[in-house]
Amino acid sequence: DQQVKQNSPSLSVQEGRISILNCDYTNSMFDYFLWYKKYPAEGPTFLISISSIKDKNEDGRFTVFLNKSAKHLSLHIVPSQPGDSAVYFCAASGNYGGSQGNLIFGKGTKLSVKP
């Protein structure tokens, strides 16, 4: 049973426009959420995170929004650049009874930013 879902395997966006990557989760005990970016033949790199006590976190062109009631988070990239073309993974963790507390990853969304 997937606890972290990225329902869009791919997304194509024009350079300069906004990219919105979505992620849904099922476990209400998750309290920390992260986004990773992965280029081919490289390891994932940490991009941005958000704690469940916040609903928004911004870092330059990247903003993550968290909607706890909907169990949904999104990553906004504005403006999108060709160098943003990569696979983006959503991940979640929680420190609750029975949990190992480890990150649980979604399957990823491949973003293509076209010049």
Residue 94 lies near other proteins (rule: CB under 8 A): yes
Q: In the set 8, 11, 20, 32, which binds other proteins (CB under 8 A)? A: 32
Distance of CA 68 to the CA centre of its chain: 14
Residue 41 lies near other proteins (rule: CB under 8 A): yes
First to last CA, the chain: 38
Nearest distance, CB of residue 47 and other proteins, angstroms: 9
Residue 102 lies near other proteins (rule: CB under 8 A): yes
Residue 42 lies near other proteins (rule: CB under 8 A): yes
Q: SS3 string of 56-114?
A: EEEECCEEEEEECCCCEEEEEECCCCHHHCEEEEEEEECCCCCCCCCCEECCCEEEEEE
Residue ranges that bind other proteins, judged by CB under 8 A: 6, 31-32, 34, 36, 41-46, 49, 51, 89, 93-95, 100-108
